[in-house]
């Protein structure tokens, strides 16, 4: 059986949050869709929630390989024409996936919308209407959950060698090959409530600059070296602009 949409959700030991994510799907999509839960926990922390919502379930038994491996497995298993990736601590907004589907069916291979941010009890909206490829070549603006991609158009995988920002690297690979389009909607809410207390995330952030340099080397843009230098400065790394001139691909 084939579907209009495959929704891919990596999870690891957050069954309550995963349940919230799964519960949000029915009001976000009215199309023919499948849900694929990829569990990084060998004890099967997400099994009960996946079963409750009739999701397909895959447990990476004995192999905790992180988000990229989970998303790559989900992509290979997916039978939908379009794919949506979402993390297990975020959730879709009502009619959000329907709005993205409406936008992507205008012969686009990748379409993105705005997103909401939840921080405790505070909710805000991030407007991405002005985001271009050049913005994306400096830093990532589009979170998972805020875009749809046509499966047949996908170029490459999510990198399983990066410590972070593998989603940014993946998007840039798609955008530089196939382009991108914006549609006016806010399909997803990104929950940042836990970020301040997540010690693992804090440790990862210390190495963000390494993956920034990896992305900059993979997608050269000498005309953006000043902006890239400023982005690295914000991460605590001072690299002169001339060190970021790799050659241009645009």
The enclosing domain of 20 has a CATH number of: 3.90.550.10
Q: What is the pLDDT along the chain (250 residues), one digit of tens a residue?
A: 789 999 999 998 899 999 999 999 999 999 999 999 999 887 778 999 999 999 999 988 666 678 899 999 999 999 999 999 999 999 999 999 999 999 998 778 999 999 999 998 999 999 999 999 999 999 999 999 999 999 999 999 999 988 889 999 999 999 999 999 999 999 999 999 876 555 445 545 667 788 899 999 999 999 999 999 999 988 888 887 777 776 554 4
248 is a domain residue: no
Q: Which letter does DSSP use for residue 5 in this model? A: E
| pLDDT of amino acid 200 | 43
Q: Which residue range(s) make up the domain with 113?
A: 3-197
Entry pTM: 0.91
Structurally, the chain folds into a number of domains equal to 1
9 is a domain residue: yes
Three-state DSSP class for 184?
coil
206 is a domain residue: no
Backbone angles phi, psi at 220, to 5 degrees: -60, 145
DSSP string, 124-164: EEE--TT--HHHHHHS----TTSEEEEGGG--S---SS-SS
229 is a domain residue: no
Region for residue 45 given its phi and psi (left: phi exceeds 0; alpha: psi -120 to 50; beta: otherwise): alpha
Neighbours of 41 (CB within 10 A): 17
């Amino acid at each position: 059986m084939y579907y209009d949409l495959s929704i891919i959700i990596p999870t690891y030991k957050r069954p309550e949050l995963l349940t919230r994510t799964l519960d949000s799907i029915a009001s976000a999509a009215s199309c023919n869709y499948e849900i694929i839960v990829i569990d990084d926990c060998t004890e099967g922390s997400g099994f009960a929630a996946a079963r409750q919502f009739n999701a397909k379930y895959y447990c990476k038994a004995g192999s905790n390989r992180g988000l990229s491996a989970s998303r790559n497995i989900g992509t290979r298993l997916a039978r939908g024409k379009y794919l949506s990736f979402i993390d297990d601590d975020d959730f879709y907004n009502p009619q959000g996936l329907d709005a993205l589907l409406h936008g992507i069916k205008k012969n686009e291979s990748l379409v993105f919308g705005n997103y909401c941010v939840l921080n405790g009890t505070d909710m805000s909206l991030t407007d991405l209407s002005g985001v271009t490829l050049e913005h994306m070549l400096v830093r990532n603006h589009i979170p998972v959950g805020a875009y749809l991609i046509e499966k047949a158009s996908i170029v490459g995988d999510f990198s399983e060698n990066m410590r972070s920002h593998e989603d940014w690297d993946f998007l840039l690979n798609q955008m530089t090959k196939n382009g991108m389009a914006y549609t006016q909607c806010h399909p997803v809410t990104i929950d940042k409530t836990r970020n301040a207390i997540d010690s693992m995330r804090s440790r990862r952030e210390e190495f963000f600059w390494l993956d920034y340099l990896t992305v900059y080397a993979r997608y050269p843009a000498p005309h953006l070296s000043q902006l890239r230098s400023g982005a690295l400065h914000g991460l605590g790394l001072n690299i002169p602009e001339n060190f970021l001139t790799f050659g241009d691909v645009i």
